[in-house]
Amino acid sequence: MSRLHRPALSRLVLAGAAALALVGAALAPASGAPAAAVDRPAYVALGDSYSAGVFVRPWEEHDGCGRSARNYPHQVAQRLGLQLTDVTCGAAEVVDGVLGPQPSHKIYGPPSIPPPDGWPALPPQIEAVSPDTDVVTVGIGGNSLGFGPITLKCIELGISKPLQTKPCTKYYTEGGEGEHWLKEQFAALDRDFGHMMSVLRARAPHATVAVVGYPAIVPDNSGCKFLHWNQLGSVKKGDMPWLDRLEHQLNGLLERQAGHHGAAYVDTYGPSVGHGVCESGDAKWMYGIRDNLTGDGDQTDQPSEACRKIPGTGEACTFVHPNARGLDNQARQVTRALTSEG
């Protein structure tokens, strides 16, 4: 992670030390001298549902973004003594979310059932970044690529093509109907992500910037079972290696763009291999299509009409996002990236 700006990195290390000092001071006997105020570096978190930490308790309910208090922006800010502005939001895209407003019809919660008048549109996340910003993390790109619709297509084809072992792979490759569309999606994401990074650098020229990649979803299809909705439901096992390659290609684009713009790239995929959606117990760091909620408290999500149609006994339609242990992994990797000297 040698691309991190040294002045900002030094401030991060000092801020972390200051935070520890404050804890020590709070536990020490009171004295007559007033405690010195700590000027905490300003940290802005941009990103989509994987950064917001949707469906991990407790989450915010006021704007439909589903930001978890356990997401990596909150954990990193606490560990490094940063002043956090978290504008991450579920379903955010590079254009419709970071560079431009996020429309009401692209805000999905939780809560999954919006208020009667719908969620209000959100301002561009990039507006939270200014010349006074010291640290920026950005985890975005999956929605712009269309990873959600792609997964839904794989679910649909798994049902409608029962005799095919790899219907989704065939659809998006080998001259299939979706091959050209997917190539265009990658080209558009590459272009838009590069523009976003240029705008980000112009707004905060001295900030430490880290691009956060996506964790492993299905690095190994062993343990995956057809029609198990706490895993990938009707996605065929034969299509799972292709989905994994697609994620590698997406992460590769993000890493390349990070390097081109002098930002750090945070690999959350490598450390999460062996903890994908088809694992069980504590080894599972990823929610399935419909799964039981994790995190602190007893917060629930009333299922939408579409969710009620999905089989399974899971508490919510979590649709393949990091669970609480997955968020903890992200936090460890981002913290390491922001404090690494080499």
pLDDT, tens digit, for every residue of 201-229? 999 999 999 999 999 999 999 999 999 99
The helix/strand/coil state of 224 is coil
If you average pLDDT over residues 13-28, what whole number do you get?
45
What are the distances in angstroms from CA 337 to CA 162, 211, 265, 295, 321?
44, 10, 8, 24, 22
What are the distances in angstroms from CA 316 to CA 34, 102, 112, 227?
49, 24, 9, 16
The helix/strand/coil state of 68 is strand
- pLDDT at residue 109 greater than cutoff 80: yes
- pLDDT at residue 20 greater than cutoff 90: no
If you average pLDDT over residues 10-34, what whole number do you get?
46
Quote the CA–CA distance of 37 and 181 in Å, as a whole number. 54
Q: Using an 8 Å Cβ cutoff, are 81 and 18 in contact?
A: yes
151-157: long-range pairs with CB below 8 Å, 24+: 151/232, 151/235, 151/243, 151/319, 151/320, 153/178, 154/232, 154/235, 154/236, 154/239, 154/243, 155/232, 155/233, 155/234, 155/235, 155/289, 156/234, 157/236, 157/239
Q: For 292-312, how does the pLDDT look when each residue is reduced to its tens digit (9 = 90+)? A: 999 999 999 999 999 999 998
Q: For 171-182, how does the pLDDT look when each residue is reduced to its tens digit (9 = 90+)? A: 999 899 999 999
Q: Using an 8 Å Cβ cutoff, are 316 and 291 in contact?
A: yes
Quote the CA–CA distance of 263 and 125 in Å, as a whole number. 18
Q: Which helix (H) or strand (E) holds 223?
A: none
- pLDDT at residue 168 greater than cutoff 70: yes
Quote the CA–CA distance of 140 and 11 in Å, as a whole number. 26
If you average pLDDT over residues 114-118, what whole number do you get?
95
Q: Which of these ranges, 30-39, 127-136, 312-321, has the smallest mean pLDDT?
A: 30-39
Q: How far apart are the first and last CA of the chain?
A: 6
CB atoms within 10 A of CB 297: 10
If you average pLDDT over residues 176-199, what whole number do you get?
98
Amino acid symbol at 82: L
Q: Which residues pair with 102 in a beta bridge?
A: 122
Residue 174's pLDDT is: 86
**Residues of the chain above pLDDT 90, percent:** 87
Quote the CA–CA distance of 210 and 237 in Å, as a whole number. 34
Q: What is the DSSP letter of 46?
A: E
Q: Using an 8 Å Cβ cutoff, are 44 and 129 in contact?
A: yes
Under the banding of pLDDT at 50, 70 and 90, the label for residue 7 is very low
Backbone angles phi, psi at 39, to 5 degrees: -85, 100
If you average pLDDT over residues 8-31, what whole number do you get?
46
Quote the CA–CA distance of 160 and 226 in Å, as a whole number. 14
Q: Which of these ranges, 32-36, 264-268, 309-313, 314-318, has the smallest mean pLDDT?
A: 32-36
- pLDDT at residue 30 greater than cutoff 90: no
- Could you write out the DSSP letters of every residue in 126-189? GGG--TT--EEEEE--HHHHTHHHHHHHHHHHHHH-TT-SSHHHHHHSTT-TTHHHHHHHHHHH
Residue 230's nearest CA partner among 321, 107, 110 is: 321
Quote the CA–CA distance of 20 and 31 in Å, as a whole number. 18
Under the banding of pLDDT at 50, 70 and 90, the label for residue 100 is very high
Whole-number CA gyration radius for the chain = 21
Q: For 58-74, how does the pLDDT look when each residue is reduced to its tens digit (9 = 90+)? A: 999 999 999 999 999 99
Supply the mean pLDDT for the chain. Answer: 91
Under the banding of pLDDT at 50, 70 and 90, the label for residue 31 is very low
Residue 18's nearest CA partner among 47, 41, 51, 45 is: 41
Residue 160's pLDDT is: 98
Residue 163's pLDDT is: 97
- pLDDT at residue 29 greater than cutoff 90: no
Is 191 exposed, middle or buried (CB count within 10 Å of its CB: 0-12, 13-18, 19+)?
A: exposed
